[in-house]
Amino acid sequence: MKKKSLIIIGSGPAGLSAAIYAARANLMPLLFEGYQSGGQLMITSEVENFPGFKDGILGPELMAAFRAQAERFGTEYITADVTKVELSGSNKIIWEENNKYETNCVIIATGATANLLGLKRERALMGRGVSACATCDGFFFKDKTVAVVGGGDSAMEESIFLTRFAKKVHLIHRRDAFRASKIMVSRAEKNPKIEFVLDSIVDDILGENLVSGIRLKNTKTNKLFELKLDGVFMAIGHTPNTDLFKGQINMDKKGYIISSNDKSRLTATNLSGVFACGDVQDSRYRQAITAAGSGCMAAMDAERYLENILLDQTGLSK
Stretch that binds ligand NAP, among 4-12, 127-135, 144-152, 271-279 (CB under 6 A): 144-152
Site for ligand NAP in 216-235 (CB under 6 A): 235
CB of 177: closest distance to ligand NAP in angstroms? 8
What x/- string results for residues 7 through 46 when contact with ligand NAP is judged by CB under 6 A?
A: ----------------------------------------
Catalytic residue among 55, 81, 137, 262: 137
Least distance (Å) between residue 184 CB and ligand NAP? 7
Q: From residue 282, how far is each of 73, 77, 78 by CA, in Å? A: 27, 25, 25
**Catalytic residue, candidates 105, 133, 230, 282:** 133
Compute the least distance from the CB of residue 156 to ligand NAP, in Å.
8
Half-sphere exposure (CA, 13 Å, Cβ side) for 82? Answer: 30
Is 236 a residue that touches ligand NAP (CB under 6 A)? yes
Active site residue 137: yes
- Give the residue with the Cβ less far from ligand NAP, 16 or 236: 236
Q: Is 133 in the active site?
A: yes
**Residue tagged active-site, from 136, 277, 279, 301:** 136
Q: Which is nearer to ligand NAP, 96 or 153 (CB)?
A: 153
Enumerate residues 109-138 that contact ligand NAP by CB under 6 A: 117
Shortest-Cβ-distance residue relative to ligand NAP:
152
Q: How far is the CB of 119 from ligand NAP (least distance, A)?
A: 10
**CB atoms < 10 A from the CB of 79, how many?**
13
E-only strand ranges, the chain: 2-9, 30-32, 46-47, 57-58, 76-78, 84-86, 92-96, 99-108, 112-114, 130-131, 145-149, 168-172, 194-197, 200-206, 213-218, 224-228, 231-234, 238-240, 274-276
Q: How far is the CB of 207 from ligand NAP (least distance, A)?
A: 20
What residues does 46 pair with on adjacent strands?
58
SS3 of residue 41 by DSSP: helix
The answer to whether 136 touches 286, Cβ cutoff 8 Å, is: no
Separation CA 230–CA 278 (nearest Å): 31
Q: For 139, list phi and psi in degrees, rounded to 5.
A: -55, -25
**Among candidate residues 272, 270, 269, 266, the one with its CA nearest the CA of residue 301:** 266
Distance from C-alpha of 73 to C-alpha of 63, rounded to nearest angstrom: 16
Binding mask 150-189 for ligand NAP (x = CB under 6 A): xxxxxx-x----------------xx---x----------
What sections of the chain are H helices per DSSP?
A: 13-24, 59-72, 134-137, 153-162, 182-190, 288-314
Is residue 237 at the binding interface for ligand NAP, with CB under 6 A as the rule? Answer: yes
Q: How far out from the chain centre does Cα 95 lie?
A: 23
Q: Which is nearer to ligand NAP, 147 or 288 (CB)?
A: 147
283 binds ligand NAP (CB under 6 A): yes
Of 63-71, 105-113, 148-156, 302-310, the window that binds ligand NAP (rule: CB under 6 A) is 148-156
Q: Which is nearer to ligand NAP, 237 or 255 (CB)?
A: 237
- What are the residues binding ligand NAP (CB under 6 A)? 117, 149-155, 157, 174-175, 179, 201, 235-237, 283
Active site residues: 133, 136-137
